[in-house]
Amino acid sequence: MKFALMVSEGPYTHQAADTAWQFATAAIARGHEVWRVFFYHDGVYNASRLTEPPQDDRHIVNRWSALAAQHKVDLVVCVAAALRRGIKDEVLAPGFRISGLGQLVDAGLKTDRLVTFGD
């Protein structure tokens, strides 16, 4: 099965980002494809390379970057939501790219399931 995910909550303010990453890794481990993850609303904070959690805490941004590098997952950050929150190309972590809402529509059309995480 081919999945697309939408994450609309920040990495340390809500469980949604962790749950989405866990879903993605579990789906891939079971032979499914995670084609695209679209970060929307406060979910765009998952793409910031400026995030520095304590050493004993998980680094969600790095987890997403590693997922993209290892499994060719397309990590797309909504341009309008990003700019409203001060997220620009120069602060993106590796593997993320900024694009428009059309990428979410495209993901819904080209995958078997679009799964959303967050409000």
Residue 79 near residue 109, CB atoms below 8 Å: no
CATH fold, domain 2-117, is Hypothetical Protein Ychn; Chain: A, (3.40.1260)
Q: Which residue has the tokens 């879903």?
A: 23
Residue 97, strand partner residues: 76
Q: Where are the domains of the chain?
A: 2-117
Beta bridge partners of 36: 4, 74
pLDDT digits (tens, 9 = 90+) for 64-98: 999 999 999 999 999 999 999 999 999 999 999 99
Two tokens, residue 6 = 């939408």
Catalytic residue among 34, 47, 78, 81: 78
Portion of the chain with pLDDT greater than 90, in percent: 92
Residue 43's pLDDT band (boundaries 50, 70, 90)? very high
54 an active-site residue? no
